[in-house]
Amino acid sequence: MRRRPVWPRRLADAAVKAASVLAAALGLAMLAWILAVVLQRGASALNWRFITGMPVPPGAEGGGLANAIVGTFLVTLLACVIGVPIGMMAGVYLAEFGAGRTLAALVRFLVNVMIGVPSIIIGLFVYTIVVLPAGHFSGWAGGVALSLLILPVVARTTEDMLALVPNPLRESSLALGAPRWRTTLHIVFRAARSGLLTGVLLAVARISGETAPLLFTALNSPYWPRSLSGPTANLTVTIFNYAMSPYPNWQRAAWGASFLITLGVLALTVVSRALARERTR
């Protein structure tokens, strides 16, 4: 048997490695560039007045985005309250009770489709079923739209994390006479808790920078969000409005809000990675 030369394979291996390193370096360079620009322009706008003050009229100096910060927190919290429990229950069904069932295959297919649906489509859908019948924009509609973005991510993560729990743990609990629901809640969930929390944090990071769904649902407001029954201030739509304005003060505030969102997403990502590393150990 004729032996083929080794150098073509080594050359191809070196070329693939070089291309991979170049692609990774390019991605890291773009990320570092974005972070540097946001840090440079956004950090200068941050101060105590920016975090605690209210917006000022167009062209005026000073002011802050306290209403948008609180509004973003409330809408995100509402999205988590709606989307996280439903997503976890869907993931539990897929991992623990739906093995081999047609309904589980359908649910899994729908979850995968929802993950890939553009966020603007979700916003338009919620606008049609919530905003139009109500006759006005609201923070409730914004929370519903964001919950539809959280739900499939949490469901998929929950299914994957529960599937990693060894079956002997389930079998031992069932052999001791524990019902299936108690086994899932007290044994399987406890074994996968860090992975589940990681999935929730990643889902929250996923919706933190969404603008399109809130444009169709919560819109925006210059007032303090005393309730979610009307247009609600939020950081992403505020960034959109301020960045497109001709006023330097508003543009500077848009960079400051961008820095806040970037900092929050980075914090959530770091915490989720730390939890994932702890679970691996």
What residues does each domain of the chain span? 66-280
**DSSP H helices in the chain:** 7-43, 48-52, 66-92, 102-116, 119-126, 132-134, 139-163, 167-175, 180-182, 189-191, 193-208, 212-216, 235-243, 248-280
Give the pTM.
0.88
Answer yes or no: are the C-beta atoms of 219 and 237 closer than 8 Å: yes
3-24 pLDDT, tens per residue? 777 778 888 889 999 999 999 9
Q: Give residue 54's pLDDT.
A: 92
The CATH number of 66-280 is 1.10.3720.10
State the Cα–Cα distance between residues 281 and 274, nearest whole angstrom: 11
Answer yes or no: are the C-beta atoms of 171 and 234 closer than 8 Å: no
What region does 55 belong to: left with phi over 0, alpha with psi -120 to 50, or beta?
Answer: beta
What region does 101 belong to: left with phi over 0, alpha with psi -120 to 50, or beta?
Answer: beta
Q: What percent of the chain has pLDDT over 70?
A: 97
Q: Give residue 281's pLDDT.
A: 58
237 CB-near residues (< 8 Å, 6+ apart):
211, 214, 215, 218, 219, 220
pLDDT bracket for residue 93 (50, 70, 90) = very high
Residue 239 half-sphere exposure toward CB, CA atoms < 13 A: 21
pLDDT > 90? residue 198: no
Structure-block tokens of residue 53: 């003050």
If we measure between CA atoms, which residue out of 231, 200, 220 comes closest to residue 77? Answer: 200
Q: Classify each residue of 27-55 as buried b or exposed e, where b means 16 or more C-beta atoms within 10 Å of its C-beta.
A: eeeeeeeeeeebeebbeebbeeebeeeeb
State the Cα–Cα distance between residues 183 and 173, nearest whole angstrom: 6
The overall average pLDDT reported for the chain is 90
Span 31-58, mean pLDDT?
89
Rg (CA), the chain: 23
Q: Give residue 1's pLDDT.
A: 56
